[in-house]
Structure 1
């Protein structure tokens, strides 16, 4: 993820992460100690602290926003448990879906999509 962010900064493209409710918190839907390492935040401050801790523990360079406790972002975009979106000038252009077998993303494909979009936009300016 850090490489993806770094590769697009020179073009003025901003990538951000949005921390939403925990998919597999220790107290709601645990799936092992490695994945379920925090409880579901009950307050915005707890959610903010989880986001800060994640950024620090994983040296996560991407700026991170935090969904509110009403889960407004998640409810609007259906981001559970995680998705990649491209929003340009207020319009949703891409909602990448994970692989159906492994539930993972090919970051190279997302990188290519962003590069192609940027190149198509810069040619029209």
Structure 2
């Protein structure tokens, strides 16, 4: 993620991460201690702290906002457990979906999509 952020930011492309509810909170749907290392926040203060710790622990460089406790971003965009979106001129124009077999993203494909879109609009 940091490499994607660093490679496109100089072109004027803005990246933003939205921290949403925990997909595998230790008290709800744990899948091991390395993934399920925090409980589901019950307050915005806890969610903000989880986001801060994530940025620190993973040296995450991208700016990050935090979804509200009503999960409005998630409810609007179906971002569980995580997704990549491209907005252009105020409209959602692309929603990347993870691979079906492992639920991962091919970051090279996403990088190429961003490059192609950028070149066709500048």
Tell me which interval the TM-score lies in, with the shorter structure as reference length: over 0.9
- In structure 2, what is the Cα distance between the partners aligned to 1:26 and 1:34? 10
* 1:52 equivalenced with 2:52 (yes/no): yes
Deviation (angstroms), 1:74: 0.3
TM-score norm. by structure 2 comes to 0.98
Give 1:1-125 correspondences, 5 Å limit: 1-122=1-122
Tell me how far apart the structure 1 counterparts of residues 94 and 72 of structure 2 sit (CA, whole Å). Answer: 19
* 1:90 Cα deviation after fit: 1.2
- The 3-state SS of whatever aligns with 1:53 is helix
SS at match of 1:56: helix
User: What is the CA distance between 1:60 and its match in structure 2?
Assistant: 0.4
Structure 2 residue runs of 5 or longer lacking an equivalent are none
Deviation (angstroms), 1:16: 1.0
Query: Match of 1:15, SS?
Result: coil
Root-mean-square deviation (CA, aligned residues, Å) is: 0.5
Cα distance between partner residues in 1 of 2:111 and 2:48: 28
* Count of aligned positions: 122
Deviation of residue 15 (structure 1)? 0.9
- For 1:85 and 1:24, locate their aligned partners in 2 and report how far apart those are by CA, in whole Å: 22
Deviations for 1:1-28, whole angstroms, at most 9, x for unmatched residues? Answer: 1110000011100111110000000000
